[in-house]
Amino acid sequence: MLRALVGLARGIHVVSALWVLVLGFAIIADVVGRSVFSYPIRGTTEVIKNSVVAITFMQLPLAILSGSMLRTEIFADGLGKMGRRLLRTFGYLLGIALFALIAWAALEPAAYAYRIGEYEGEGALRVPTWPIRFLLIGTAVYAAIAYLAMIWLDWTGQLEHEIAYPGILSFDAANASVMSDQSKTGKDV
159 DSSP β-pair partners: 169
Structure confidence at residue 184 (pLDDT): 46
C-alpha atoms less than 13 angstroms from C-alpha of 43 in its C-beta half-sphere? 11
Cα separations in angstroms, 152 against 25, 59, 68, 90, 188: 41, 21, 17, 13, 20
pLDDT for residue 139 is more than 50: yes
**Residues of the chain above pLDDT 70, percent:** 83
Q: Which helix (H) or strand (E) holds 9?
A: helix 2-36
**Residues of the chain above pLDDT 90, percent:** 51
pTM for this predicted structure: 0.80
Burial 27-42 (b: 16+ CB within 10 A, else e): eeebeeeeeeeeeebe
pLDDT for residue 167 is more than 70: no
pLDDT for residue 186 is more than 60: no
